[in-house]
Amino acid sequence: MATCNFFAVDLGATSGRTILGSIVDGKLEQRELTRFPNQIIETGGHFFWDIYALYAEIIRGLKLVADEHIEIQSVGIDTWGVDFVMIGKDGGILRNPYCYRDPHTEGAMEEYFKLVPKEKVYEKTGIQFMNFNSLFQLATLRRNGDSALEVADKILFVPDALMYMLTGEAVCEYTILSTSQLLDPRTKRIDTELLEVIGLKEKQFGRYVNPSDKVGVLSEEVQRQTGLGAVPVVAVAGHDTGAAVAAVPARDERFAYLSCGTWSLLGIETKDAIINKESFAYNFTNEGGIDGTTRFLKNICGMWLLERCRKEWTDAPKDVNLINNESLEAEPFRCFINPDAPCFANPVSMVDAIREYCRKTGQHVPEGYKEIARCIFESLAMRYRQVLGYLKDLSPFEIEKLHVIGGGTYNRHLMQFTANSVGIPVVCGPVEGTAIGNIMLQAKAAGLVGDMFEMRKIIAASIELKTYLPQDREAWDVAYEKYLAVSNAEI
């Protein structure tokens, strides 16, 4: 197979990068071209993203490609979810987009539920409730008489807006739309009733596209700025989590995935959305995946717990790997926390919050960083088992493996604990899944792979995977009962 090059733009909520991905002899190679901050702008009492700065960084990366005389097959962009850009009738951007961290949506869900009941919104969308979802952002802007929304001709989610700036084509990509709480996952289209109660129309969003669909080509303006030709721009999985899950090197559908980092996302890939009383009660969400699939998942607190504790510890090693190793010196199963308990959302002191939780639940109160770190790792492993149990009850197929992607895979002790807890093999890798998914979906658009399993076969051949098998099952089963006894405590 000849070398094919793809230009991937991967934008997170704090930083972004451009990557050159190449398929060489059936294997994937990557090179980071640029890395840059994505800064939130605070002005006029609101928080905004600088869409023009992000566009300029994309142009800078494309110029590097041209300067090195690299021929690229296409360009693909993935970003965080829910936020959007408003376009006027003259085709111009009306202003920088609001950031989902802006406090103007506080109480927005309750206001919207006066128009459409909460249960009906979930039945229509299957999306977990968060006040910054696009639906509630739009309702807030309408309620506040926002001047840009009043005259908006098009509303484009961030990756779609950047593709618009590159091509002049206005599209609405499936995976990024799915984060908005506007999508009916059964029809794969916007639910018009949810929009109409706030005075908006489906036609205000771009034409629908799916991952690997061609959006257009670089405009003449962009060609002139970069020195490139009419390079195609491809709609990858515009939502970064969708791109990351696309990179899971699974052989078949019988797996669950865990995106493990500051936060954990645990779910399965299904053909159809799962929307029922149980999924509503467990607060599961249905988001768009590749090849028309749905990512049925639940958000779980992750390494945020450890990150916050590390900022407080004065006697712990600076190297997180040493903390991970030394945690094994602590006695196992002495105390547990529910990582998703409200008291751990953003406490003044995470160390004190963990100790207080254990004290109020009648457990051993951990002392020192070794005991606290072990408590965190074991509790996360138990929480993964608990949520995986919900998934097993709701899944239309048997779950045989847990694929873990993201930075948490570096913590081999947590990965072994997870295997011990969930009782099925845990397969780790890749770490940088988002960029890989972006690149491979472009490769699919170029005809180099036929479906997601061919795509994942190349990924598996290109990275090193580490598999952890369950150990000490009896001891972990006994400990899990202890975890369940304290996990529902109201602290």
Tell me which of 50, 191, 240, 340 is the catalytic residue.
240
Half-sphere exposure of 410 (CA within 13 A, CB side): 13
> Both tokens of residue 136?
């509630």
**Tell me, what DSSP letter sits at residue 156?**
E
Element (H, E) at 76: strand 74-78
Answer for the pair 424, 279: CB distance below 8 angstroms, yes or no: no
DSSP strand pairing (294-301 vs 263-270): antiparallel
Beta bridge partners of 87: 93, 154
> Both tokens of residue 60?
């800078």
DSSP strand pairing (255-260 vs 232-235): unpaired
Amino acid code (one letter) for 171: V
Answer for the pair 179, 134: CB distance below 8 angstroms, yes or no: yes
Phi, psi for residue 349 in degrees, rounded to 5: -130, 115
Answer for the pair 276, 329: CB distance below 8 angstroms, yes or no: no
Answer for the pair 332, 374: CB distance below 8 angstroms, yes or no: yes
Amino acid code (one letter) for 232: P
Is 184 tagged catalytic? no
**Tell me, what DSSP letter sits at residue 230?**
S
Beta bridge partners of 4: 23
Query: How many beta carbons lie within 10 A of that of residue 66, not counting itself?
Result: 17
Angle at 320 between CA 318 and CA 322, to 5 degrees: 85
Estimate the share of the chain in helix, then strand, then coil, as percent rounded to the nearest 5. 40, 20, 35
Beta bridge partners of 268: 256, 296
DSSP string, 236-288: ---BHHHHHHHT---SSS-EEEEEESSEEEEEEEESS---SHHHHHHT-EEEE
Phi-psi sector, 350: left (phi>0), alpha (psi -120 to 50), beta:
alpha
Amino acid code (one letter) for 80: W
Distances from the Cα of 245 to the Cα of 18, 295, 456, 468, angstroms: 19, 8, 10, 20
Q: Indicate which residues carry an active-site annotation.
A: 240
